[in-house]
Amino acid sequence: MIEVLNDIAEDVVGFRLSGEVSGEDYEKVLIPALKSKLKEQGKLKVLYQVSEDFDSYDFSALLDDAKAGFMFYTAWEKIAVISDIEWIINSVKVFSFTVPAKIKTFENKELQKAKEWLMQKDKSEPNIKISLDKKSKIAILEPFCALSQRDFLKAKELIDPFIKENGKLNGIIIHTKDFPGWDSSGAFFAHMRFIKEHQKHVKKIAFATDSLLIETGDKIASYFIDTKIKNFHFNELKKAKEWIEG
């Protein structure tokens, strides 16, 4: 079932999913609530809390889920997904780039944190730490929140002058315990453009992470570039550097 949560900010609509979610739940609860909030606010900030007793979707619910996505495609602004179910969190991270909104995941114990994030105004701080070892000619990118288009502009501002001066980078290392995904489809495509624009100037790319999404990222990147790619565990940053320098 789906129930509407009323104890959130005025410009946020919230839902709790539990048990088996049916197409009727979407048609009678979720979609009318989204339409009403969109009429009030002009944009949609949405909180989805998936309870521990969540069981499954039936087939009609899956169809209605897709329909809701297309129906409100240009209206999404922020979406917070709260769950302790691993496959749900991983699915959100994999497919978040298909939705033109900022999407972030939280554990159920972080419900208040999720509400606060939805109410926050956008900040200019980047979601990635970038360091450049000029001696080894290796750039290390360490994302700690869902990546935005702004983050790749920051990466270009640091890396492009170095490439212009030195002609190349020996490698780039993506170093993160758990890859946080992208905050919008625009961020995902900015990531792909960044890779494609720099592939001729980068010999190797290493992923140093324990993220379950790494195989997906690896496969996606392989469609865009011919650069050598290799995976390492998060605590194998030194090995990743040695592989690039070898």
Sequence-ordered list of residues with C-beta below 8 angstroms from that of 191, at least 6 positions apart, any chain: 147, 152, 182
pLDDT band, very low/low/confident/very high, at 64 (cuts 50, 70, 90): low
Write down the pLDDT at residue 244. 93
Q: Per-residue pLDDT tens for 106-132?
A: 999 999 999 988 888 665 567 888 888
What count of other Cβ atoms lies within 10 Å of the Cβ of residue 46?
24
- What tens digit of pLDDT does each residue of 201-235 get? 888 888 888 876 655 555 555 555 567 888 898 99
Beta bridge partners of 131: 140
Q: Which residue has the tokens 């170093």?
A: 175
Question: Rounded distance, CA 88 to CA 82, Å?
Answer: 9
Determine the Cα–Cα distance for residues 18 and 30; give it in Å rounded to an integer. Answer: 13
Give percent above pLDDT 70 in the chain: 83
pLDDT reading at 16 higher than 60: yes
Taking the C-alpha atoms of residue 59 and residue 70, their distance in angstroms, rounded to an integer, is 17
